Structure 1
Amino acid sequence: MNDKPKLTPRQQQIFELIQRAIARTGAPPTRAEIASELGFRSANAAEEHLQALARKGVIELVGGTSRGIRLKAGTLRTVNESRKKGADGAPASSGLLSSLSMTLPGLEQLALPLVGRVAAGSPILAQEMVERTYSVEASMFAKRPDYLLRVRGMSMKDAGILDGDLLAVARTREARNGQIVVARLGDEVTVKRFQRTAHGIELLPENPDFEPIVVSPDHPDFELEGLAVGLIRNDMLM
């Protein structure tokens, strides 16, 4: 019995758009962004397609946030496999998912350490910081992560990143404006949206209840730890 999700061309287009957004910025798009990208007249049309994707088990929708779209574990692998051949048995047309299947094979497993609280002055991947190691399908991510970070707090809730979620992080010392990053400020590690200005760096929350963090160019304790490249819920790895 074939239980792989069968997507319409429009649903597949939206699914790939979500993947591109996560690969580019670390967060899924808003309904308005999907509507604008695909030429819909309103965000309601995007919402209808997202609801259909959720019913098919491809994504999970989280209420109360404009970017509350999560990919479900194993989704990329199963959709990749269903697209390898068309209805007539011929190879399907190439696209984002088919290219991902070449660079990140669906059966490849990554051993990702889960980092909990980070002690002041300790490397983020110091052995004492690692709670455990998970085996995760590589095809869940457009960019290969190096570790998982347990999210603390709700400062990024409007980007769909909630307390207790596991953020997949690729180690880097560089970031572009708009990307979601993991940064160290003195004794704390924080997840925020990166913005470089003429006056320094701003770490922007995605929750109006939180204030931006302004980092001066000569701040001695600022360090960029990595980029967000995916998000999974803790119960996906149980």
Structure 2
Amino acid sequence: MKIGILNTGNIGARLARAWAAAGHELVLAKDGEDRKLEPLLAELGDKARLGTIREAAEFGEVVLFSVYWPRVETIVATVADALDAKIVIETMNPLGVTADFKHFHDVEFMRDSSTAEGLQKRLPKARVVKAFSTLAAPVLEASVWETAPTRPGVPYVTDDADAGRITRKLIEDAGFRPLAAGPLKGARQIEQLGLFLHHVADHEYGGDPDLIRLALTVIEASPGPVMRERVV
């Protein structure tokens, strides 16, 4: 499958490695200095090439929209109609930034919307999927879970069944367990889950820096739940 990555940052680079290893063709773009991609391109060899934001959007049958939320308007203006009818997997979280460059979750925005719904409104002809937003980049590699009892789940939501099916396969190709979570409006709960993980990192693990160690998944009881007769 042809995949364009906008933007190839901490998340995009890790998924690029996994998808290249799975045999997909990639065009990598950087929202900023693309010279920073030289080591990754050298590592991937003929499995990936460099392109502009627009070129990566035009190339991909699937496009990973891994953009810093405050930059969305600029990137959407750059890609214009290049994403029409394409599957767009967005990984964003609704982050704001203060005057002294401290990031925060935009809780007011999260009450009534999500980055996925916002992107779908800006790209009405694209087939938007929300995925890969609940794992911090340092643990978004299958190798770090090799000794774990189970692989983390990656929840995804979309209003397009075929886009969901293809995204599901790409989640598996990245080494994770896909978790279907319904229509695109469910992105609100996925983004709130990210905020919940920040609270767990803060209160259980001693500080927000430990967020990069955390993941959630769904585990099935084995052999199954124990049902007992209800006593009235």
TM range (shorter): under 0.3
TM-score norm. by structure 1 comes to 0.25
Structure number with higher strand proportion:
1
* TM norm structure 2: 0.26
> Relative to total residues, which structure has the larger helix share, 1 or 2?
2
